[in-house]
Structure 1
Amino acid sequence: MAFTRATGKHRGPSRLTRRRAGIAGVATIATTGVIGTLASPALAADADAPSFEDTGLTQIVAADSLAATIDAQAAAQEREAAEAVERAKAEARAKAEAKRKAEARAKEIREAKERAAREAERKRLNSFQLPVAGSYVTTSYQAGGALWSSGSHSGVDFRAASGSRVVSVGSGTVVEAGWGGAYGNNIVIRMNDGTYTQYGHLSSISVSVGESVTPGQRIGLSGSTGNSTGPHLHFEARTTAEYGSDINPVAYLRARGVNV
């Protein structure tokens, strides 16, 4: 059977036609390829360029900004910590200084009190007072009469009911304590200033020889022992421990600040 090629719009292109089309296509490709090659970057930039957000640059900038913020915060925290340490040190120094000043002030006050106490004690030890508190002289010094073997009174008599408290008039050391003949129970004290005092007619004695006494210290109780007409205290001031070295007891006490 013989075949014939169909004609019309449905007829396929001939071999020559296809070849021409191929040559034209190559030429077209060659031409447009160059142009396309030259134009493609611009076209790509215009048509296919990704947006700013799609490049990852935003994330980098954000990361850098966050890192900078963290660094700044860390630096601020370090400064705050350093300042807190310095404040704590300053407070500690201030407390230590306040404590030192308080201790120094307390020491000054304590030393001042101690000095005042020592001075008060020194004054007390150097002070004199009446041998019987609140008493007064009933028989004066060198009063005459047959009652005294020498013909006159070698001391003074202080009013003192039996059992009244008799004290040392000042600071000194006991050199005699016991029976003294006409003086009855008596005590002789060598005072710190080198003078002597005597206390006679005592009902009892509270000190012994060699004992140190201070102003106002009880040494015995008044009575009427020895050559006595009744309870009283016979008091003498002397330049030595021996009888006959007597001096005016009232003048002696007044010279030492005692109101007699």
Structure 2
Amino acid sequence: MAITRTTGKHRRPGRAPRTARSGANLAGIATLAASGVVAGFAAPALAASDDGRGAEDTGLRQAVAMGDELADQVAAQAETQQSFAAEAAAKAQAEADARKEAARLAAEAKRKAEAAAKKAKQEREAKERAAREAERKRLNMFVLPVSGSYLSTSYQASSGLWSSGSHTGVDFHAASGTSVHSVGSGTVVEAGWGGAYGNNIVIKMNDGTYTQYAHLSSLSVSVGQAVTPGQQIGLSGATGNVTGPHLHFEARTSPDYGSDIDPVAYLRSHGVNI
């Protein structure tokens, strides 16, 4: 059977129509354009497609080359941005670490300051307690009425010089004008002329007993005045019934004459070495 062909021009099989090739080329270029490539090269590529496959390949190679260059630029920018981001993160971390260290140092300084303040307070309180204790002991201590003196007449010595027939106190050797001290803490209940005692002072001690200081040349305290151990209350002399200057000292259970007790035993019971 004879094969007949229709008349007219025919194209070689396998070659795509120009419109199809142009469409494919445009699709590839559009893809590159979406990545940021300027599509100005598309026109020459499309124009060349009319003249043959070689021109079309040249356009694609240009597009690929430009795409590679763009990719390199994008990668370089991305690397630079990552570097900046890393530097910013490192700086932020360093600042955070610095703030944390500053907070730690501030807390440590505060702790040390509080510890130092607490220690200073404890030391101050300890000193205050020691001072109070020392003052308490001082106020409760007893001393000799005349510093560095000695007894010239003992307690209950017999003599016609005394109305009772015996000595109701003790005499301390003291030249006229010698300082006379309160033997302990108390309150003055008598200060003035005492007859045979001359100028005398009677003190009610804090323990409820009484002490008397007689034959004084002058007085330094008055009734109602509080006195402390060792405080000067007058000066020794020879007023009243005496044969010479000295201090007559008595210890009593009351402020009245006749309630006398042994003054040496009294002073020794309060820690005075006599």
Relative to the length of structure 2, the TM-score reads 0.79
Which has the higher relative contact order, 1 or 2, with Cα contacts under 8 A spaced 6 or more apart? 1
Query: Aligned to 1:237, which of 241, 247, 251?
Result: 251
Task: Provide the rounded CA distance (Å) in 2 between the counterparts of 1:175 and 1:111.
Answer: 37
Q: Secondary structure at the match of 2:94?
A: helix
Equivalent position to 2:162, from 128, 145, 148: 148
Of 129, 132, 136, 1:122 maps to 136
State whether residues 173 and 190 of structure 1, in contact with CA within 8 Å, keep that contact through their aligned partners in structure 2: yes
- Superposed CA deviations along residues 25-63 of structure 1, whole A, max 9, x for unmatched, are xx99xx9x98975565555556x5664796222211111
CA RMSD of aligned residues (A): 2.5
Unaligned runs of 5+ in 2: 1-10, 19-48
Runs of at least 5 residues in structure 1 that lack an aligned partner in the other structure: 1-26
Do the aligned residues in 2 keep the contact of 1:196 with 1:240 (CA within 8 Å)? Answer: yes
Dislocated runs of 4+, deviation >3 Å: 33-46, 48-54
- Contact 1:185 1:226 (C-alpha < 8 Å) held by counterparts: yes
Does 2:182 align with 1:168? Answer: yes
1:75 matched to 2:82: no
Q: What CA deviation, in whole Å up to 9, does each residue of 1:90-147 have, x standing for no partner?
A: 1111111111000000000000000000000001100000001111111000000111
Residue number among 125, 136, 151 corresponding to 1:111 in the alignment: 125
Residue identity over aligned pairs, in percent, reads 60
- Aligned positions of 1:13-162 closer than 5 A: 41-42=56-57, 44=59, 48=62, 51=65, 55-162=69-176
Residue of structure 2 in register with 1:247 after alignment: 261
> What SS does the corresponding residue of 1:163 show, helix, strand or coil?
coil
Deviations 1:143-185 (A, max 9, x none): 0011111110000000111111101000000000000001000
CA–CA distance in structure 2, aligned partners of residues 152 and 174 of structure 1: 26
Residues 52 and 58, structure 1, Cα contact 8 Å, conserved in 2 = no
Question: Aligned residue for 1:7?
Answer: none
Paired AA for residue 132 in structure 1: V
SS of the counterpart of 2:218? strand
The structure that has the greater radius of gyration is 1
Q: Aligned pairs, how many?
A: 233
